[in-house]
A and B are shown apart, each in its own frame.
Chain A
Amino acid sequence: MIEALSIRGLKKVYDNGFEALKGIDLTVKQGDFFALLGPNGAGKSTTIGVLCSLVVKSAGQVRIFGNDIDQDFSHAKKSLGVVPQEFNFNQFEKVADIVISQGGYYGLPRAIAVERMEKYLRKLGLWDKRHEAARNLSGGMKRRLLIARALVHEPQLLILDEPTAGVDIELRRSMWAFLQEMNQQGTTIILTTHYLEEAESLCRHVAIIDKGCIVQNTSIKSLLKCLDKEVFIFDTLNELSVAPVLENYPVTLVDKHCLEVELNKGQSLNSLFALFEQQSIDVVSMRNKINRLEELFVSLVEKNDSAEEKSR
């Protein structure tokens, strides 16, 4: 399968000596929906900055659909659309003009740019706002404008840097649906996000970056298999005053109708329910306590931190 993105030995050292990327390798296949996760300051935005040439790399090689960003920057850039984290458009310019001009920078004749502007503003629910100055849009609308602008030249690879940050749940869901549709139509998508639920719902592959190094790069499924424990929440019919003692299952009483139970990999839920039965506890509903990926993410980042401390 064709590689949409290939990064080899990518390093970035800023002028102040800070090493943001320590020689990362990363491959994203064509058609993939890929998540790049990491805590603040891990190197996600620097990586994206290098891909779209806003950050000058210190070493390494980057290819987008086989085109080296140094040797064949024109083809590489035409294949790439970037949705940045910050609103980097002219706030006084009209919504339609922002999108049309972006098409112009990619060499799209004005008639085609106007057509695409209409297509994407309609898709993203901004058509009615096309004559408004960008500064009059809400935060969510501005974020959608960034997406419309990045799509006007119809790139094969779309990179979104925290596209749903600060966006309400309804809008986030509609953006997810839009991105899934784009991916099904063949656009390779890479997104960075803090919402791990987002990565788990949308992405097939994930890389976790921490302190400028890739600490994990695999499929979401394989990653979740690494998880060795899960916490479940049980709502009970009967009122409880203390947490029941269940052999091999650590239990915490959340409130008089709610329990938290930690299950290790391989432990059976049936056995747990049998123990509830023995103690006459009637369970009316159950759910996962937190996002599973979030637990894994925290453990991977913590492991990386302690490994780094040991090496010092």
Chain B
Amino acid sequence: MSFAEQWVAFCTILRKEIVRFIRIWVQTLLPPVITMGLYFVIFGTLIGSRIGQMDGFSYMEFVVPGLIMMSVITNSYGNVVSSFFSVKFQRSIEEILVSPTPNYIILLGYVSGGVCRGLLVGIIVTLVSLLFTRLSIYSLPITIGIVLMTSVVFALAGFLNAIFARSFDDISIIPTFILTPLIYLGGVFYSMSLLPEFWQFVSKLNPLLYMVNAFRYGILGVSDINVSYAFIGVTVFIVVLTAWCLHLLAKGTRMRS
């Protein structure tokens, strides 16, 4: 396939993905807005006013970056895992598998779809947060860089989950039992400095802590960790997950007999 043909194939997959999540906006775009709106009201306004300052910022200002990142992560992951598993389940994945579309274009198309939804939800949640607090950006390159790369990591992880999934249960197990606890324990709602030394060490094993803190650094200019570790970690994740997904696509794992 020539470059132009590959570009057409990529646009076809991406277009389908974007049309899909926009068509079902009540399921894809509205729930995170409502959930995050509730977080802002409860944690930011009601409880936050009693907590006082955290790392030199009001509690509302402190939680906003974490909550934006949380929506980006869950939506990037959720879009790819549900969309790719559905095409596998309905066997319409065969439409692409019989075509000359290379595996890296299939992966790029689905991951880009996940990133688009993750970032779109992130933007909407940011706009909602402006109703509750002022938001200034400390470093635009770090903010955009980390949110984009984190979105790619979780879109890739969603793709991996969809490849291995055999049933709809399998695509909800990882988000419920692994992703959500890691996000909640990843410093979205608190500064790591509040934890005893042992739990600070345990928290540092959680990759989401680095992503959330790097994003918070981009917006507020404060972080519990060295931001460069976050970029290195995310890059490593992208490389490893991409290689793994391409290997599974080449083998045809759970797609070809």
Q: Using CB atoms and an 8 Å cutoff, list the residues of chain A in contact with chain B.
A: 14, 49, 52-56, 73-75, 77-78, 80, 82, 84, 86, 88-91, 93, 98, 101-102, 104-110, 149
Query: Would you give the shortest CB distance from B106 to chain A, in whole angstroms?
Result: 9
In the complex with contacts A73-B100, A101-B95, A107-B4, A55-B9 CB distance below 8 A? no
The one of A53, A56, A102 in contact with B95, judged by C-beta atoms closer than 8 angstroms, is: A102
The one of A52, A80, A101 in contact with B16, judged by C-beta atoms closer than 8 angstroms, is: A101
In the complex with contacts A88-B95, A104-B12, A149-B95, A56-B100 CB distance below 8 A? no
Determine if A105 and B92 form an interchain contact, defined as CB atoms under 8 angstroms apart. no
In the complex with contacts A82-B98, A104-B8, A88-B92 CB distance below 8 A? yes
9 contacts between A and B (CB under 8 A): A80-B98, A88-B95, A89-B90, A90-B87, A101-B12, A104-B15, A105-B12, A106-B99, A107-B6
Check if B96 is an interface residue, CB within 8 A of chain A. yes
How distant is the Cα of A84 from the Cα of B97 in the complex, in angstroms? Answer: 13
Determine if A53 and B256 form an interchain contact, defined as CB atoms under 8 angstroms apart. yes
Check if B94 is an interface residue, CB within 8 A of chain A. yes
Q: Using CB atoms and an 8 Å cutoff, list the residues of chain B in contact with chain A.
A: 1-2, 4-6, 8-9, 11-13, 15-16, 86-87, 90-92, 94-102, 252, 256-257
Select from chain B the residue with minimum beta-carbon distance to A49: B257
In the complex with contacts A73-B100, A84-B94, A107-B8 CB distance below 8 A? yes
How distant is the Cα of A104 from the Cα of B105 in the complex, in angstroms? Answer: 12
Select from chain B the residue with minimum beta-carbon distance to A73: B100
Determine if A56 and B9 form an interchain contact, defined as CB atoms under 8 angstroms apart. no
How distant is the Cα of A89 from the Cα of B95 in the complex, in angstroms? Answer: 7
How distant is the Cα of A33 from the Cα of B229 in the complex, in angstroms? Answer: 63
The one of A54, A86, A105, A108 in contact with B257, judged by C-beta atoms closer than 8 angstroms, is: A54
Query: Would you give the shortest CB distance from B246 to chain A, in whole angstroms?
Result: 15
Query: Would you give the shortest CB distance from A90 to chain B, in whole angstroms?
Result: 4
Determine if B98 and A56 form an interchain contact, defined as CB atoms under 8 angstroms apart. no
Determine if A90 and B90 form an interchain contact, defined as CB atoms under 8 angstroms apart. yes
Hey, which chain A residues are within 8 Å of B5, CB to CB?
106-107
Q: Which of A73, A77, A86, A88 has the most CB of B within 10 A?
A: A88
Query: Would you give the shortest CB distance from B162 to chain A, in whole angstroms?
Result: 15
Determine if B100 and A106 form an interchain contact, defined as CB atoms under 8 angstroms apart. yes
Determine if A86 and B100 form an interchain contact, defined as CB atoms under 8 angstroms apart. no
Determine if B94 and A105 form an interchain contact, defined as CB atoms under 8 angstroms apart. no
Hey, which chain B residues are within 8 Å of A110, CB to CB?
8
Query: Would you give the shortest CB distance from B82 to chain A, in whole angstroms?
Result: 13
How distant is the Cα of A78 from the Cα of B252 in the complex, in angstroms? Answer: 20
Determine if B257 and A107 form an interchain contact, defined as CB atoms under 8 angstroms apart. no
Determine if A54 and B94 form an interchain contact, defined as CB atoms under 8 angstroms apart. yes
The one of B1, B4, B11, B252 in contact with A56, judged by C-beta atoms closer than 8 angstroms, is: B252
In the complex with contacts A107-B4, A107-B8, A53-B92 CB distance below 8 A? no
Q: Which 8 A-B pairs have the closest CB atoms?
A: A107-B5, A104-B12, A105-B99, A88-B91, A77-B100, A74-B100, A52-B98, A90-B92
Determine if A105 and B101 form an interchain contact, defined as CB atoms under 8 angstroms apart. yes
Determine if B2 and A107 form an interchain contact, defined as CB atoms under 8 angstroms apart. yes
Determine if A86 and B91 form an interchain contact, defined as CB atoms under 8 angstroms apart. yes
How distant is the Cα of A93 from the Cα of B23 in the complex, in angstroms? Answer: 11
Select from chain B the residue with minimum beta-carbon distance to A91: B90
How distant is the Cα of A283 from the Cα of B92 in the complex, in angstroms? Answer: 56
Hey, which chain A residues are within 8 Å of B252, CB to CB?
56
Select from chain A the residue with minimum beta-carbon distance to B86: A90
How distant is the Cα of A86 from the Cα of B92 in the complex, in angstroms? Answer: 11
How distant is the Cα of A194 from the Cα of B142 in the complex, in angstroms? Answer: 63
Query: Would you give the shortest CB distance from B159 to chain A, in whole angstroms?
Result: 18
The one of A53, A78, A90, A106 in contact with B97, judged by C-beta atoms closer than 8 angstroms, is: A53
How distant is the Cα of A110 from the Cα of B14 in the complex, in angstroms? Answer: 14
Determine if A105 and B95 form an interchain contact, defined as CB atoms under 8 angstroms apart. yes
Hey, which chain B residues are within 8 Å of A88, CB to CB?
90-92, 94-95
In the complex with contacts A88-B91, A101-B16, A107-B1, A54-B97 CB distance below 8 A? yes
Additional A-B contacts beyond A84-B94, A107-B2 (13; CB < 8 A): A55-B257, A56-B257, A88-B91, A89-B90, A91-B90, A98-B95, A101-B12, A104-B13, A105-B9, A105-B96, A105-B99, A106-B101, A107-B1
Select from chain B the residue with minimum beta-carbon distance to A112: B8
In the complex with contacts A106-B100, A107-B100, A89-B6 CB distance below 8 A? no
In the complex with contacts A86-B91, A106-B100, A55-B12 CB distance below 8 A? no
Q: Which of A49, A54, A86 has the most CB of B within 10 A?
A: A54
Determine if B100 and A78 form an interchain contact, defined as CB atoms under 8 angstroms apart. yes
In the complex with contacts A56-B252, A102-B99, A109-B8 CB distance below 8 A? yes
Hey, which chain A residues are within 8 Å of B94, CB to CB?
54, 84, 88
Determine if A104 and B98 form an interchain contact, defined as CB atoms under 8 angstroms apart. no
Hey, which chain B residues are within 8 Å of A49, CB to CB?
257
How distant is the Cα of A109 from the Cα of B12 in the complex, in angstroms? Answer: 10
Hey, which chain B residues are within 8 Å of A104, CB to CB?
8-9, 11-13, 15
Select from chain A the residue with minimum beta-carbon distance to B1: A74
Query: Would you give the shortest CB distance from A91 to chain B, in whole angstroms?
Result: 7
Hey, which chain B residues are within 8 Å of A77, CB to CB?
98-100
Select from chain A the residue with minimum beta-carbon distance to B251: A56
